[in-house]
Amino acid sequence: MTYHTITFRSAIILLGCTILATVGAAQFPSAPKPLEPKMPQGVGGCTINKPCAEVAPDIIKKALGPSPLESNLRQLTDVVGGRITGSPAADKAIDWAVQAFRAAGVDEVLTENFTVPVGWSEGRTRLEVLAPQPFPVHLVSIGWSPATPPGGLTANVVDVGMGNEAGFKHAGESAKGAIVLVHTNVLKTWDDLMNEYYFEPAIIDRAVNAGAAAILWMSTRPYMLLYRHNLSLTGELERLPQAVVAREDALRIARFIAANQPVKVHLDMPNKITEHAASENVIAEIRGSEKPDEFVILGAHLDSWELGTGALDDGCNAAMVIDAARAIRASGSIPKRSIRFVLFTGEEQGMLGSWAYALAHRTELDHMDAAIIFDSGDGKVTGYSLGGRKDIAANVTQALRPLASFGPFENTFDSDMGTDNLDFLLEGVPTLVANQEPDDYMMNYHAASDTYDKVDFAQLKRNEAIAAVTAYAVADLPERLGPRQTRKQIERLLKTTGLEKEMKETGFWSLWVDGKRGRQP
Ligand SMILES: [Zn+2]
């Protein structure tokens, strides 16, 4: 999942609404035992604590210098591969992370398990054109789509345009029992990407209300590129079978229909659904010197979709967070507060891992200084989104001072439901999410082309230097970055940032109101 802009961007969320509903069913571990402080085993003669301004050049040098970053990421992408939460590949990725964190020399590594309500994997998806004439159609199921009935379903394809009211009105009764084809715009910008999430829930509503049997989404990428993500906001199965069809094939179907040559197809999507899938977050720590019980999280997500190998989303940042730990440890210095390096899973299904973490560590959140999250590929970092928290801006600017050579930075006050900062924001903890230039993120987003060769390691290393120094600086600030907000203050923040509107439009609001997600009433 990516992160970006206000409203539209935030609409992009993957929220586990009903996940909470099934929290009863989901197993959240009791609060983990506090970690035993260990004297740092770092290289190069650790000193307890050096001011960040003095340490930053060391950390930057370690980040930009030779490191296992490339080989680690190749292991995660080429060897482990695409890793859907709850899948065997995700389990291998968790082992990879534990080993790599150990090699980075941190004080402690542990995993925390949680359960997601549904396990999902794609079966052999096929679409056969029966009329007016056979031709090949390339498609993939969207994530968390239910299977078609056993043996598949045969139906007419009905073109509903962009899937808006007018499109369904034009289709009228013909949409009943049919497979509706929805046109899309080509994905170019962050906002385009957000719109993919923002507009689609309403289109699905219309298809369900029209009695459609399934939805075919025209791919938003040209050149036969296929991708998947789940559109549900609850982590539960979608309401209708849905697939993404190669843009060129979808346009061909649409042209037959426009030429009054009805298109009849047989769609078979034998997706495999399991109840409850187990997963884990991986947590590593460098223990603080003066206030070890206060902590800053530097995080990314470890899970990915599996058409590609999740290199840009979010493998490069998972490997980067591990290497940031190595660079900080190798600097030989220790900040006042602890730094926890967390690789969440379940992000693509609704930030389930970060939700589980916030719930499991609820008793510690008064001691949590900040969540710093990277989840927008390897593009140049232009600053941080502060989740609407104007009160922390001055301290963030101070923390970024040692990074002047990587700037200038523009921090923004937008807020979003797009990645693993959300549950911490809703718990009143300050959050920083890296704003990054898009680079080639859009085309490859969740696509079969999201592979190791797409990663710009020189830029990723610069982002690592920024991430490592930011985490160190925030953990070493003389005072806390900012207070933990009360529920009242968070409610005001949700209004001022527009998050409340998005949470209502995406069906997430009830989770907040019921106290299932976010700071308790
Ligand atoms: Zn992501």
pLDDT digits (tens, 9 = 90+) for 141-192: 999 999 999 999 999 999 999 999 999 999 999 999 999 999 999 999 888 8
**Ligand 1 mean position to 354 CA, how many Å?**
13
CATH annotation of 120-274? 3.50.30.30
- The pLDDT, as a whole number, for residue 234 is 85
Radius of gyration of the chain (CA): 23
**Ligand 1 mean position to 468 CA, how many Å?**
19
**Ligand 1 mean position to 355 CA, how many Å?**
15
**Ligand 1 mean position to 127 CA, how many Å?**
29
CATH superfamily name and code, 47-117+276-508 = Zn peptidases (3.40.630.10)
**Ligand 1 mean position to 142 CA, how many Å?**
16
> How crowded is the C-beta side of 317, counted as CA atoms within 13 Å?
33
**Ligand 1 mean position to 63 CA, how many Å?**
22
Check for a shared fold between 47-117+276-508 and 120-274.
no
**Ligand 1 mean position to 162 CA, how many Å?**
26
All structural domains of the chain with their residue ranges: 47-117+276-508, 120-274
**Ligand 1 mean position to 135 CA, how many Å?**
35
d(CA 162, CA 199): 10
**Ligand 1 mean position to 476 CA, how many Å?**
28
**Ligand 1 mean position to 303 CA, how many Å?**
8
d(CA 258, CA 219): 19
Closest CA to 347 of 154, 147, 83: 83
**Ligand 1 mean position to 416 CA, how many Å?**
13
**Ligand 1 mean position to 314 CA, how many Å?**
5
**Ligand 1 mean position to 441 CA, how many Å?**
11
**Ligand 1 mean position to 445 CA, how many Å?**
9
**Ligand 1 mean position to 415 CA, how many Å?**
16
Angle subtended at Cα 371 by Cα 370 and Cα 372, rounded to the nearest 5 degrees: 110
Q: Determine if the peptide bond prior to 438 is cis (ω within 30°).
A: no
Residue pLDDT tens, the chain, 521 long = 443 433 333 433 334 444 444 444 444 444 444 434 444 444 444 445 677 788 999 999 999 999 999 999 999 999 999 999 999 999 999 999 999 999 999 999 999 999 999 999 999 999 999 999 999 999 999 999 999 999 999 999 999 999 999 999 999 999 999 999 999 999 998 888 888 888 899 999 999 999 999 999 999 999 999 999 888 788 999 999 999 999 999 999 999 999 999 999 999 999 999 999 999 999 999 999 999 999 999 999 999 999 999 999 999 999 999 999 999 999 999 999 999 999 999 999 999 999 999 999 999 999 999 999 999 999 999 999 999 999 999 999 999 999 999 999 999 999 988 999 999 999 999 999 999 999 899 999 999 999 999 999 999 999 999 999 999 999 999 999 999 999 999 999 999 999 999 999 888 999 999 999 999 97
**Ligand 1 mean position to 376 CA, how many Å?**
7
**Ligand 1 mean position to 483 CA, how many Å?**
28
**Ligand 1 mean position to 361 CA, how many Å?**
23
Closest CA to 309 of 137, 453, 150, 482: 453
**Ligand 1 mean position to 3 CA, how many Å?**
8
- The pLDDT, as a whole number, for residue 232 is 77
**Ligand 1 mean position to 321 CA, how many Å?**
14
Q: Give the pTM.
A: 0.90
- The pLDDT, as a whole number, for residue 270 is 98
- The pLDDT, as a whole number, for residue 40 is 43
* DSSP-derived 3-state class of residue 432: strand
**Ligand 1 mean position to 312 CA, how many Å?**
8
**Ligand 1 mean position to 480 CA, how many Å?**
28
Strand locations in 160-270 (E): 179-182, 214-218, 242-245, 263-268
